[in-house]
Amino acid sequence: MAPTKKPRILIVYTGGTIGMIEDPVTKALKPFDFSHLLENVPKIKMLDYEIDNIQFHPPIDSSDMNVEHWKLIAHSIADNYDNYDGFVVLHGTDTMSYTASALSFMLQNLQKPVIITGSQLPIGEVRTDGEENLITALQIAADRRADGTPTVSEVAILFENYLWRGNRSTKRSADNFNAFRSNNYPELAKIGLGINFRYDALAENHNGGPLEPHYEFDTMVMPIDLFPGLNEAVFRHQLATPGIRGIVLRTYGMGNGPTEDWFLDALADAVRRGVVVVNVTQCVNGGVQSGRYISGEKISETGVISGHDITFEAAITKMMYLLGLGIEADEVRRRFEQPIAGEITI
């Protein structure tokens, strides 16, 4: 559909603090419906946009998010893709980076903005970050370049002063308004008096081609964290989890771990059984460089692949996504080491 004069934006409301209200008895925050949320942001009408919405029934705390919810969000976008210029997903902060990563893999050939936001304080409270986040997200979803194409054509998280690439983001604070951060990729925009986009960091607009949504995930995956003291019995037990198909191994520094035989043999056995194991660093910044230390090199010799500078959130969702394609383990390994949606730097 040719862009109309008024930007057309679809809001997908999944829940999260932004739309929550306090339970009068327990005082705990619980999700509430979308009309309540809109009533609290009368300023939305000052934006000359056509805005529609879809909401989860019931809206959820994002700690309840699962792959079925991701399918609902992706369907809300894909099924309405041609009718809107941009999409804003309202979501709890707790698992926002996981959803942003998952959507970036699900929505292949995305050429429109999918801006995810939420807030640390409910929108109905006197002092809230929700109103500003919602309005800025709508403005970013409506923004166009000089040639008329969308400024943002990827899945991104807008929170307080920054727009981040979704699959590069991590929730870094439980109570700071600037709750998200991307440790290995620059911001896509800085929000101050204006919205200052970093065109060098934004995904390039593709040339045509329809959206190609993928909805299947394989959830037979798990993380394993290394720590000094990890013993063979515990490690072998984890690797032998019945039905496990993918493991995100969280290692030290540049991808290092013990050089003892029991550790390396256990990993090699898992790889031989067809389990895809990816090496991801526990450090918040930087990535895996397996050849840098002998300990990292030994891990890669077992058949464990490198996650480069991927976040944990993107690694676990990418693993579920690739295994969900029903391709051979070797093909999963090959594709994992290549960027799919700008989630790693080679």
Q: Which of residues 22, 33, 61, 269 is near ligand ASP by CB under 6 A?
A: 61
Q: Which of residues 7, 16, 307, 342 is near ligand ASP by CB under 6 A?
A: 16
Quickly list H helices, the chain.
34-39, 67-78, 96-106, 130-142, 232-239, 261-272, 294-301, 312-324, 329-336
Q: 17 an active-site residue?
A: yes
Catalytic hit among 14, 17, 99, 136: 17
- The residue with tokens 């991701």 is 70
342 binds ligand ASP (CB under 6 A): no
- Report helix, strand or coil for 112: coil
19 binds ligand ASP (CB under 6 A): no
Beta strand 114-117 pairing with 50-60: unpaired
Least separation in angstroms between CB 218 and ligand ASP: 24
Least separation in angstroms between CB 223 and ligand ASP: 20
Q: How far apart are CA 159 and CA 180, in angstroms?
A: 7
- The residue with tokens 């440790």 is 183
Q: Which is nearer to ligand ASP, 62 or 136 (CB)?
A: 62
Q: Binders of ligand ASP among 83-102, rule CB under 6 A? A: 92-94
Q: Binders of ligand ASP among 134-193, rule CB under 6 A? A: none
50 binds ligand ASP (CB under 6 A): no
Residue nearest to ligand ASP (CB): 92
N-term to C-term CA, the chain: 36
Q: Which is nearer to ligand ASP, 31 or 324 (CB)?
A: 31
**If we measure between CA atoms, which residue out of 169, 154, 34 comes closest to residue 95?**
169
Q: How far apart are CA 306 and CA 339, in angstroms?
A: 12
Binding residues vs ligand ASP (CB under 6 A): 15-17, 61-63, 92-94, 118, 120
